Amino acid sequence: MTSLAGKFLVAKPVLQDPNFVRTVVLLLQHGAEGAFGLVINRPAKVEGLPFPVFVGGPCPSQGLIMLHGHPEWVQEEDPDSPPGEVAPGVFLGNAACVGRVQEADDRDSLRYRMFAGYSGWGPDQLERELAAGAWAVVPASGEMIWNQPADEVWAAVLPPMIPSPSLN
C-alpha cells in the first residue's frame, strides 16, 4: 500500500456523509492501521479563544491540533533535526508554536490553523471509500491552506469531472 500521507483528500459530490460534504482533508498519517487527517476548510464558531478554530473532523481530540507554515519555528525547537513537514509548507505545531501565536502582535501575518477534532479511518476503510469514488486524491500544499479562503478551497482543488462516455 502506498501511503497517501501529505496529500489532500477532496470529497467528491457523490459523498453525502454530512461530516465530509465539500471538505478537503489533509492526510497526516496513512497505513495498514488506518488513516488520520484534518479537514482544512471548515471554520468553527468558538467564542473566547484568541485565534480561529477549524473543525478537523468528527472524531473528538483531547485538545487542539495545530498546523503552521513556519519552518523556522521547527528549526528553533530542535536545530539538529530537519523540519517535520507533513506536506509542502505545512508543519505540525506544538505548545511552543501555540505560544508564538498567542504572543504575536500581528497574528494575521502568521500562517497557522488550530483544529478541534480530527478525521479518522480504520484499517482499509479509506481504501474502500476511495474505491467507491467518494474521494479524489490531489497533491497538498501550504499555499492552498494559507492563501485560499476556507470557503473556496474545495472548489479550488476539486479535480474537473471527466464526462462519462455513456453521455455522448
- Delineate the domains of the chain, giving CATH numbers in brackets: 7-157 (3.40.1740.10)
- The predicted-structure confidence for 18-53, as pLDDT tens digits, reads as follows 999 999 999 999 999 999 999 999 999 888 887 889
Average pLDDT across the chain, whole number: 89
Residue 164's pLDDT is 47
pLDDT at residue 64 in the model: 92
Euclidean distance between the first and the last CA atom of the chain, given in angstroms as a whole number: 36
In the chain, the amino acid numbered 1 is M
Is the CB of residue 25 less than 8 Å from the CB of residue 36? no
User: Max Cα separation, the chain?
Assistant: 59
Q: Which three cell numbers mark 18?
A: 454530512
Report d(CA 69, CA 93) in Å as an integer. 9
Around 65, how many Cα atoms within 13 Å sit in the side-chain half-sphere? 23
Contact by Cβ (8 Å): 77, 68 = no
Nearest residue to 29 via CA among 92, 93, 96: 92
Distance from C-alpha of 141 to C-alpha of 145, rounded to nearest angstrom: 7
pLDDT tens track of the chain, all 168 residues? 799 999 999 999 999 999 999 999 999 999 999 999 999 999 998 888 878 899 999 999 999 999 999 998 886 665 555 557 899 999 999 888 888 888 888 888 899 999 999 999 999 999 999 999 999 999 999 999 999 999 999 999 998 865 545 544
pLDDT at 83: 54
